[in-house]
Amino acid sequence: MKSKKKTGRVSVVGRVGVAVGVGAVILAAAAYFTGLVGGHPKLEGEPASAKVESKAGPSDTVDLTEKQVASIKVEPVGERLFAVEKGAVGNIDYNQDMAVQVFTNYQGRINGLFAKVGDDVKKDQTLFTIDSPDLLQAESTLIAADGVLLMQTRVLNRQKALFAAKAAAQKDVDQAVSDQQTAEGALLAARNAVSVFGKTEAEIDRVVAQRKVDSTLIVLSPIDGRVTARVAAPGLFVQPGNQPAPFTVADLSTKWMFANVIESDIPYFHLGQPVRVKVTAYPERVFKGKITTIGTTVDTSTHRTFVRSEILDPEHRLLAGMYANFVIEIGEPLRSTAVPSAAVVREGDGTMTVFVTTDGIKFVKRIVEIGLRQDGFVQILKGLKPGERIAADGAVFLSNILALRTSATD
């Protein structure tokens, strides 16, 4: 019996001990969760600076010193009109409608050159000369025709004198008159034949008077322009229309721009539509023109078609082969929130940010969504409102401060 009672007492004491242990655990847990509700629990070994950092504000805030403030330009956010545009890239070329291939009208060998590639020439300026056998023949015929006319004129005068002295018949006079008129016609035809070669009346009279042929044929520039190509060389035998042309002269007041536009943009382009062109050689210069030709087929491999524009170039700045891009307006301009380009910073993760301030000393980084970039301004689609003050210049400096702080913390 005694052994049974002892066993029962131990059991009761054991149960009480278990209950006390469970209660202690519950109290400890309650104390822990109470600490969570009341605030951040203090962790063993936690440095005091960690608490200070958590109370210092967001990590995207920059407080500047008085000296640093001087390097930041603060401006209010405004609005601007942004043109709704489409663009394309291409190359500059000469206006082939205003480029003339200069051939000789008659065959011969080149014996003189008076212009080179790059020279500006005027209309009727000599480009080259050739030794023309056709001109030689025409001038020889002219000299002979003039000699025949002189002879027939003397015969006519002699027949008239004989007729007056009653030593010749009327028919002889009439025949002499006919021969003299025929000689006059032949001389006129010979003069016209020589003038076809570009000889002036004074030059023709000199050939007749001197009885000396000049087989040099002068080839003139048909337009004002610049020599853009020359294959002519002394001794080269040339013929009318035979390629390549000895000279090519182009009017440089206008140029062509050939661009390839994507298939989906084709509906936006129309003949006569104004375009604005820029080239890498003159990044700040805008050349104006209009669309003159739109391709009628689409390349099956690139799904693009060509668009040709005629560009005004009165100062002859554009050169054939230059890389260029053009834009056209496809709708009414949009008024949108805008900031200077220098106010927007591209972060390492690709986001776009600006720095907003209320007092010009504390700047807060804010993520924004941007749209168009035009004339040194960026369209803000989301993240800013007109009137807010931002770092319009020096935003990169603020971004670098935050980056240095982050790297130091890490």
Q: Please write the tens of the pLDDT for every residue from 88-118.
A: 899 999 999 999 999 998 899 999 999 999 9
Give CA–CA dist 198/219, Å, rounded: 8
Tens of pLDDT, residues 250-295: 999 999 999 999 999 899 899 999 999 999 999 889 999 999 999 9
Q: Which of 18-32, 166-180, 233-247 has the lowest mean pLDDT?
A: 18-32
Distance CA 368, CA 346 (A): 10
Rg (CA), the chain: 48
Mean of all residue pLDDT scores within the chain: 84
Contact criterion met (CB below 8 Å) for 274 and 290: yes
The whole model's pTM is what? 0.56
Report how far Cα 81 is from the mean position of its chain's Cα atoms: 24
The ranges assigned to domains in the chain are 1-55, 57-95+251-410, 106-249
Average pLDDT for residues 122-137, to the nearest whole number? Answer: 93
Output the CA torsion sign for 193, 198, 200, 203.
Answer: negative
Query: What single DSSP character describes residue 274?
Result: E
CATH fold for the domain made of 57-95+251-410? Elongation Factor Tu (Ef-tu); domain 3 (2.40.30)
CATH architecture of 106-249: Orthogonal Bundle (1.10)
Q: How far is CA 285 from CA 277, 288, 408, in A?
A: 8, 10, 45
* 3-state SS assignment for residue 83: strand
Long-range residue pairs from 156-161, CB within 8 A, at least 24 positions apart, any chain? 156/180
Per residue in 379-399, pLDDT (tens digit) is: 999 999 999 999 999 899 999
pLDDT for 148 equals 94
Q: Going by C-beta distance under 8 Å and a sequence separation of 6 or more, which residues neighbour residue 62?
A: 355, 362, 363, 364, 365, 398, 401, 402
- How do residues 232-257 score in pLDDT, each as one tens digit? 999 999 999 899 999 999 999 999 99
For residue 81, the model assigns a pLDDT of: 92
DSSP code, position 166: T
Residue 410: pLDDT band with limits 50, 70, 90: low
Distance (Å, whole) CA 125 – CA 225: 11
Cβ proximity of 159 and 180 under 8 Å = no
- What's the N-to-C CA distance of the chain in angstroms? 73
Tokens for 232, please give them. Answer: 């002519």
Residue 388: how many CB atoms within 10 A of its CB?
Answer: 16
Q: Are strands 304-312 and 282-294 parallel, antiparallel or unpaired?
A: antiparallel
Min mean pLDDT across 11-15, 201-205, 284-288 is at: 11-15
